[in-house]
Structure 1
């Protein structure tokens, strides 16, 4: 049986990540509060933001923007950025 975590995005027990996505306290916090499903959805959303907004991931401003968006995404904040012309999947 895989490890379970109370996912802050879905507010229920779900399969946990296999390992922390980042080193340090931020990675450990995500590991303990985000499900594998929510993390995969974030990676897809992050990729869309990077591609559609033509972000340079090596710029410090982009890293800050993506960190803010990640927190909003996992907290189900309505202020999460969408890519230009983005429409939700049906």
Structure 2
């Protein structure tokens, strides 16, 4: 039962992070789900070649869903900028 509770907590935390990612950048809404679907499809088609462990596809999907988690810590000034970000220092 304790393991089930831990899994539920992890899933809830992951879903919260995904919601935060989607809320941070509305332009890419749905991107997280699409990347997870593509990675899962690729993982299934390459499962034998990749020699995935038993939970490998599930972990691949989780990793895909969280691939943009770094967006949460990026200033909206930079993240939502319409032009390229230069290499010059920015005042935040």
TM-score class normalised by the smaller sequence:
0.3 to 0.5
Q: Which has the higher contact order (CA 8 A, sep 6+)?
A: 2
The structure that has the greater radius of gyration is 2
Higher helix share: 2
Using structure 2 for the length normalisation, give the TM-score. 0.37
Larger strand proportion of the pair: 1
TM-score by length of 1: 0.37
